Structure 1
Amino acid sequence: MQSSVARWGVGEWVVLFCLQATTWGGVFYVDSDAPEGGDGKSWAGAYTDLNRALDEAISDDEIRVAGGVYRPGPVGGNRELSFFIDTSITLLGGYAGAGQPDPDARDIAAYPTILSGDLNGDDAVVLGLEDLPGEPTRQDNVYHVVKFGQNSERSVLEGFIITGGNANGSEWYNSEGGGISGWDYYFSPPLFRFCTIEFNSSGQSSGGAYVQGRFEDCVVRFNYAVNYGGGLGSVREITRCVIEDNGCGQYGGGLNLWSARVVDSVIRKNTAAYGGGIYAGPAGIEMTGCTIENNHASVDGGGIYVSNCGTCNGFPVLYRCRIIGNTAGGNGGGFYEDPSEGWLWSCLIAGNTAGGMGGGIYEGSDGYCGIVNCTVFTNTANDGGGMLYLNAYSTIEGIVRNCIFWGNTDLTGTGTEPAQIHLVGQYSTGHVPDDGPLSALAYHCCIQGLTNSYTGSGNISSDPHFVDGYGQDDQPGTDDDDLRLLEDSPCINAGDNGMYSCEMIIPGTLPGTGTGTSNGTFPGEEGYSMCGRALFDLDTRARIRNGIVDMGAYEQKSPGGNIIYVDDSAPGANDGTCWGDAFIDLQDALAVAIPGQEIRVAQGVYRPADPNGSRESAFVLKGGVVMLGGFAGFRADDPDARDIRAYETILSGDLSGDDYIFSGDDDHGPWHDCSREDNSENVVLASGLQSGTVLEGFTILGGQGGGGLRCHAAVGLEVRDCLFRENLASAGGGLHISDSTNCHATNCVFTDNYATGNGGGIYLHGQSLTVDHCLIVGNQAEYGGGMYLDNVAATIVNGTVAHNFAWDQWGGVAVEVGDDVVGELRTGHFLSCIFWGNTSENDNVETSQIGRNFGNATFDFCCVQGWTGKFAGVGTIDQDPLFVHPGHWDTNGTFYYYDDVWIPGDYHLQSQSGRWDAALGGWVQDGVTSPCIDAGDPMAPIMYEPFPSGGVINMGAYGGTAEASKSWFGGPICEAIVAGDINGDCKVNLADFAILSQHWLWDGQQTP
């Protein structure tokens, strides 16, 4: 993993505000209650007509709309009118607007912003959704409330209620998408967030919306279409949405999908003739983590109906979904497929009912349905199999693996094999990974009433021992049921691992574009691998936890284990055994951790106590426990993916979550701000720890009094890849280590920390302490703005200590030994470091960088501003290091230090050959080259420095890392490595031999 110095751009703090807008272009303001005649450039002069702002907006503009009701035309206006968007803009609703104390206050619940197609404002309440298109009071409503043109890619619509559209026109283009209508977008479809789409209708399809858009955190309800998709149709992505109480006369009460992804969404209480919840057309869909419940189809497919796909490559994959409590008057109470190819993986199918055949699943002729690790429980059908009805009259291909079929009912009874799996017609095998008899259908399954009449190997018929299959309400297929396995279940470790091989490729395609045949392919490629996707159960618990996969949708958690998981949004049992069951409170994980265990913490903000908790609360490290941040967490495709910048894991002392964020525009600094008075004194504490304790990959902020991390009497503590910012203490605002031995801080950033006494960034006291490859910038203290070494034996390697401030002495680093320890071996050794731009009130240039009081300090191969040579050391220079863009203090025009605000910068070294630009994510060339490049310790390994590296490590925090600036030799940049060319100048000469000889002699001296 790259060092955090390379990963954390000091100026790139990300502050997340709920529904906070980001402005790139111009901003227009709209408020229906504003005075007429405004120019739309402020709340006081807001437009009252939204269409006025839409007409004037150009690409990347933003329109902010206050709470109120907005209609696209006047009373009695043309039904063709709509809010028309034909450029890439952002529309934001939910503002307080003009006349409010804070017009920019935004709360979509408190200030509902309604876009209504009811031009006359007279819509009557209907008795049933099917009456919406023909209701007399709706015949003057517009066909489409919001309409997107061909040029509206990348548009965003956020925080609106869209209602009253009635697309019942005779032309096809006025019969689709009553609420929203749009184009087919192939690259960047519009995004809809935090919207409610309700009481819209269409005479043909997609009552709520017909647009290839992306929907996030939306509610779609009470919409109706005559033929296809009562709620939404033709959409591309649906994430964390609720689709409920919609209706359709024919296909898809909630959704009509042709090539789409649906993630973490709920589809419930929708009705249609075919596909009460969802109708999936002849193209692939992928559903992950969804709940399809209590939907009804008067004919077939109560939950979901997959249509004829005999000639297409697309097919449905449902992964970790719950299909419960759905009903169908005909066939397929939960899932209907005829004929098609589909996969159900780690799904729960329970409590569904069909008046005809297939209570849980109906598979029609010439289809192929793969069902892997599903629990199919208490489904009911009148005829032909309560769980699964295979209408196999011709070439049906079936594969059922690692499933549990229990408690399903049909006319043969409850507990018979045909009630679980009823096979009708002549079956021919195919797509079964291992060879089996032609009559083989199910492998490694638990089947009630098993007779082995048409099953393969590894099946059992023992009671699976569910925790509580019927729940407190004693009803199957409801939310209180618990179909996890008890510890004595015969289904534990009884499955077949073959389906979890990355060699297992599903034929066909899923939503997207492109082709390919490699394993691990993504949707849209030819051939679809579940590798990396099917490795989790319905609780997102890892599969194959004890060597063999369990049967059913849930994997039994392992007792004990060396990894404890923490994720503040985990939905499961919250016992720390996996990402799905992760602790949501880091304190719970620390409470149970024992030496030798590892705590993995997902992205998010974690506080040591609730808002009413004690200021003495802190995260107390456990000895011998490794604590790691920066994980993606359970909502990601790969929860174990780790990137400390992309998945920032914050340990915050801001118990109330109300710390004010300061910038250069403020008239005072953070340290005396009242919003921090209730913060915890310390964020992290470590006391009396032994070797093996690690803290890695965290942002630590908001400690108020004791600082970020306070360590006392510890041995061997490792702090790696951490960012310490905005902490306050009497000594060591960011990090305080005292009376400790062999402790190390590596690849860390210390910035904007504050100490009322010694060491704004770091305070060290003890033996054999090391600070390695750390960036220490923009900190304040009375003594030692950056660091304070107090009676310590410490080594500082490849540090950048810059632009820190001391309001008394030693702005950069202070080394001090008290009278009681004079003569003992207490020293600070600084190697390959940069000290530049540090300031203090009572020092000259050099002592503002480095200062000592009876202490020993050696500076080898360092860059020190104002260097006079009075300190010991060799190879040290006094030349401007040429940082890319140094940070600075905004003094707010006063001489008081406590109102200063730190403005961060970029501390990479400039290079004509190339230096890393974090903002661009690539290499750029400068007009000058830093003298600190290739000027560090000549005996240090260059480690990860990119070619050409010069053969000598750079000074500063980025030296020896993958982001070290490249060497410059005054001529064309060397593009290729030449054998024997150690320094990278494209020549093999005495310079290379000198480097080799120097290292050879050094190695010989170090060998006893």
Structure 2
Amino acid sequence: MTFVRNEAGNGGAIHNRASEGNGFTATANFVLVNGLFVGNDAFSFSGGGGAIRNQSAVTGGGSAILKPTIVNAAIIGNTSVVHGGGISNSYLNGDLEPTIRNTLLWGNRADTNDSGFGNGDQIRVKTGGSVIVDHSLVEEGDAGIAGSSAFSNGTANLKADPLLEYAPRSAGNDQEIATDDDGLHPTPGSPVIGAGDNTPFQAGEVAENVATDVTGATRPNGTVDIGAYEGGQDQERTIYVDPSATGAADGTSWADADTTLQDTSNLASGPFGYATGNDEIRIAEGVYTPQKADISGSNSVHVLVLDGTRGGNVTRSTLFDGLTVTAGQADGAPADNENVGGGLYCERNASGKCSPTLQNLVFAGNTATVGGALYNNGKTGTSSPLIVNGVLTGNEATSLGGAIYNNGNGGTSRPTIFSTTIAGNTAGSSGGAMYNNGGSGGTAEPTLTNAVLWSNSAGDGSEIYNENAAASINYSIVEGGDAAITNGTAVSSGTDNLDRDPVFNGGSSAAGDDGRFATVDDSLSLASGSPALDTGTNAPFASGGAAEKVTTDITGTPRKQDLDADGMATVNIGAYESVVPEPPTAARGPVLSVTGATLAGTVNPGARETSVRFRLYPAGRSEQDTLLAADTLDGAVDGSYDSKSGCNAGRPRLLRDRVQRTGHTDPSGRWRRGGPTSATAPAV
């Protein structure tokens, strides 16, 4: 039996009432097996019960027996303006004791108008009544049940994420509820699989004649699953986005790809069409610009919104891979959060999650008042994305968090950031790279591993600003060390962190000469001699690590290379495993044998300069490069050399120089005039 999107004052789907007087006894003891309750609503302030209301109300000396039995139901995403988002049990007198077995209660919400009067997101039991809960999964456990400790008092109950499929709409692609493609199936690995109790299906029990689940699949199949669906199905859903597609726009193939990114994140949805669940989104090459019409409930121009506040959770199985997010501009009304998260706004409240996996993503050139690129809003729930191989550059917050703002906001924001480069972002006030706010009783505790934080700027906390918060940093490069972190010492207290120039490839464009991010010529890729080479930790990519399935860097270059030739393949720090090598210097022309030229003023230790490279042009011959150590020139012939163009009587000339800094070339990468105006070498 299915109940989807019904509404009533009390008991959005079912109102079960036993009411009698004058000495009579009333009973209301239904048995419900394989019930599916999705998106129902109770809108009255007098009772509640988004899906079910059980009510005993007896006057005049009568009595009531109200003992319904619910077996293998799925009660998901129901709401009540007051009590019992899933089930409300209202007791006046009599005998009120529902029994709930093998049932999933998840994503239900009470007190939806935030009055503070209602309670019991999953179940509410009024004083005097009771409820029995066994072998069931209840979101938040006892905390999800008001007026009872039935969760902890029951047998083999769970409160872990049920890991549901959440295919497009709860009814799936066929738009028919209670069929094989429903989005509410548990996925492989779900804790509900095999966690039920077969007793109700045995001879003489309430479900002895039930042989299937809500879809018609055999039940039980071994040990029965919790909920209305038997057996986890791996639908391996992939959703396609291509702005040039002309097909059905349902995201099921490249031909029928959706044409807007936000619509696709909505399609990758739970019961109500909001981004959540076990989805992979594949995005065609192209430019995706912010579209106001795409943003539900907001008139600002975030490029993308992941809204976990309705319907279901956005979990790490929701994967965004290979996306460049740019040109977002969130400068709207603060009251509606239209001024936060210029690139991505990830929100979750009411004890739910907005914690996707963001892999191989570039956030470049986005702006907002708060959180120039990314805003994670815990808001009484959890907003803790996993970020792997990310690049955040050139983003700006006019106030707080140039690249990222993590807001506990009465909930939790604990992003996990692996192998990511955060460079060149700015905040007008605080937190050039990141601002962490654990206010309103919340928690903001990001973890950064193998990360680069460099050349970010702010009035306070050039790299990180912590407000009632803390960051954990390990195997990372942070410019300025602890001095760049306001209210924290994560660099010195972490493991193997560095405050050394990461030696980027450099260049006039962040995307490199090819104009494409996530390629080896990006300005933030690493040059030879970088201290980031082979100095990360492989732990996140090892078996069991959070990034164990990630085998390449942001450019597609295999991770864990032995770039320092020490016999150990270790990941680099930052988003890039690829290295831009020094150009080869083939020796051409004569080999000079005399030594001894003395240079003046060529090394500036204050600028970390260690050596100078010269191009020596022998007369009438091709060029030969000679790398110098400190201030001596090997391979010069007797005579004087100047930095002017031209050639004197067939003598070699010193044309240009460039500064070597800690073993690499000047970031401009170009030979230039300058340095010493002359050099002399004595005859040998």
Higher relative contact order (Cα pairs below 8 Å, separated by 6+ residues) = 2
TM-score (norm 1): 0.26
